[in-house]
Amino acid sequence: MTTDRRPTVLVIDDDTGVRQTLAAMIERSGYSARLAASGDEGVRVYCRHQDEITAVVLDVRMPEKDGPHTLTELRRLNPTLPCVFVTGYSPEYSYEELTERGAVVLSKPVVAADLARAIRAAGGTGTPPGGGSGE
């Protein structure tokens, strides 16, 4: 799914439909997307492609390894990796707890323009070629 010279965002979400929808939004905004269905898979994808991945969009609630624990592992590899958490209802973590991890937080359902702004606000990708806004 990646293409040349566009900033690449890693999308980690256990829900196939959500993962694909987020990737489509990201690509319409001018970025490339890499996908992973779990925290462990996301870490493996990041290890293989860390030279091109400039940010991660990460579901908070996932089986086995949730988003915050996945981010902790990713940040061991890259302490400044920008992150956008996407969440529906997450009783385990408050908004404040998620933002204290240095992430931007969006509530599901996510709007494409908000996602593009959040990726830029997280600090890892700047404006993609053509200035894609997703709007």
pLDDT 10s per residue in the chain (135 long)? 444 578 999 999 999 999 999 999 999 999 999 999 999 999 999 999 999 999 999 999 999 999 999 999 999 999 999 999 999 877 889 999 999 999 999 999 999 999 999 999 998 655 554 444 444
Q: Assess if residue 58 is contained within a domain.
A: yes
Let me know if residue 39 belongs to a domain.
Answer: yes
Residue count of the chain: 135
Domain of residue 77: give its range: 8-122
pLDDT at res. 123: 84
Looking at residue 76, what is its pLDDT?
Answer: 97
What pLDDT, on a 0 to 100 scale, did the predictor assign at position 133?
45
The verdict on residue 131 lying in a domain is no
Q: Look at residue 125 in the predicted model and tell me its pLDDT.
A: 59
The total of structural domains in the chain comes to 1
Please report whether residue 87 resides in a domain: yes
At residue 5, the pLDDT reads 78
Task: Look at strands 32-36 and 53-59 and give their pairing.
Answer: unpaired
Peptide bond preceding 68 in cis form (omega within 30 of 0): no
pLDDT the model gives residue 126? 54
What CATH number does residue 60 fall under? 3.40.50.2300
Q: What is the pLDDT of residue 4?
A: 56
Helix boundaries (H) for the chain: 16-28, 39-49, 67-77, 95-99, 112-122
Domain-located, residue 2? no
Q: Does residue 134 lie within any of the structural domains? A: no
pLDDT, residue 135, reads 41
